[in-house]
A and B are shown apart, each in its own frame.
Chain A
């Protein structure tokens, strides 16, 4: 079954404590991306990756890091989380390029106290 998985699904943490949200896909897609969803703002892109070792900033990259060492995985790293990073995070993949249909993971609800 084609799927995008994210872990953890829910996380409560404290300011400054480094965390990683993992994203994995089994569709052999070239393109992967991270979004955050906030009320009234919709989905905003954080980072995206066109292929292994190729990443680029989206609209709201500040405070986040990513890496793409393998095609299937695209972890999102918060080196020093702050309360304004409390949000619902989605990983998404696309066959080739972010302009076409994207497949989303189930989301990770992050709360930073």
Chain B
């Protein structure tokens, strides 16, 4: 069972506009959420995270929003740049030792 779901396999946006990537989860025990970015032929790299005690975390152009009641989080990239084109994975943990990943969303930022 997929406890972390990214329902959009792909997203295309224009350079300079906002990219919004969505993620839903089913396990109410999840307490910590992360976003990873993956370029072709490389391993995923950590982007940003949020604890369940917060509803927003910002790091430069990247902001993650968490809505615990809806079991939903989103990653906003503003402004989007061509170098942001990658696959983005949402991940969740119950502060134990395993982490559950979504299937990923491929973001394409067009110049």
For B104, give its contact among A42, A59, A104 (CB under 8 Å).
A42
Asked if residues A58 and B98 are in contact (CB atoms below 8 Å), the reply is yes
Chain B residues with CB under 8 Å of A97's CB are 95, 97
Which residues on A sit within 8 Å (CB–CB) of B97? 31, 48, 50, 56, 97-99
Given A42-B89, A42-B101, A42-B104, are A98 and B96 also a contact pair (CB < 8 Å)? yes
Q: When chains A and B are docked, how far (Å) is the Cα of A106 from the Cα of B96?
A: 25
User: B interface, by DSSP: helix, strand, loop or mixed?
Assistant: loop
In this complex, the interface size class of chain B, counting residues with CB under 8 Å from chain A, is 20 to 34
A4 CA to B46 CA in the complex, in Å? 14
Instruction: Please give, as numbers and ranges, the residues of chain A lying within 8 Å of B96 by CB-CB distance.
Output: 98-99
Measuring CB to CB, which residues of chain B are less than 8 angstroms from any residue of chain A? 2, 4, 6, 9, 31-32, 34, 36, 41-46, 49, 89, 91, 93-104
5 contacts between A and B (CB under 8 A): A35-B101, A43-B101, A50-B97, A99-B31, A104-B45
Which residues of A approach B to under 8 Å, CB–CB?
4, 31, 33, 35, 40-45, 48, 50, 56, 58-59, 90, 92, 97-107
